[in-house]
Amino acid sequence: MGNSNPSCVGQTGITLRHLGLVDYETTWRAMRSFTHERDSNTPDELWLLEHPPVFTLGQAGRLEHLKSPRDIPVVRTDRGGQVTYHGPGQLVLYVLLDLNRWRLGVRRLVEILENSVIALVSEAGIRANGKKGAPGVYVEGRKLAALGLRVRRGCCYHGLSLNVNMDLAPFGWIDPCGYPGLGVTQLRDLGVPWDMEKVGSLLMRHFLTELKKRCPRSVCSSWL
């Protein structure tokens, strides 16, 4: 995408793009096109961004989980999962990776994403966990981060959303991730005062650490 201030992440060959506040559908089209057009030589990319208010329905999403969308747009998308909400103050990480290059399966990538958030919040003394059969990161039963991925020809896109400092009210207008009554939380309400820049930096650090831990030594041998 344009206006992205790209940078290379260490010696990984991964391009990191800080996109700011960008429209969901525009971003979705861009990462879908990137994935459709890439080949075995295309560098992987990570996109950090925020979205204006939008509800998204994944491939398994059912309209009955949209209880009262009000005037917020609803987009049916091609990621896995049910319904979720995106809005300003929520950090979104899209991972555009060649899974064959990293010798990763989808389940392993989900673990990497979840563990990245768990490690991030542990720096603030918060205990978080994943949940079997319900991808994401939870603190005392409340969802802090949501995950959804799409894989095409061994390459993935979409990623995770982490609630940092946002208006959580729209989550009450849906059944988050298809679970009626599921509570949500955010870093601010957990007493973590970090701004988006710091959260983004920590998320990148922990994601790359988890990626390195779980990819084969032969793949990561060039890393410092």
Binding positions: 79-86, 146-148, 159-161
Catalytic annotation, pick one of 155, 156, 177, 215: 177
- Numbered residues of the known binding site for substrate: 79-86, 146-148, 159-161
Burial letters 53-89, b for 16+ CB under 10 A, else e: bbbbbbeebeeebbeebeebeeeebebbbbbbbbbee
- 16/147 Cα distance (integer angstroms): 19
Q: Is 177 a catalytic residue?
A: yes
Angle in degrees, CA 223, 147, 210, rounded to 5: 20
Return the residue matching tokens 């958030």.
117
CB neighbour class for 173 (10 Å; exposed up to 12, middle 13-18, buried from 19) = middle
Catalytic residue numbers? 177
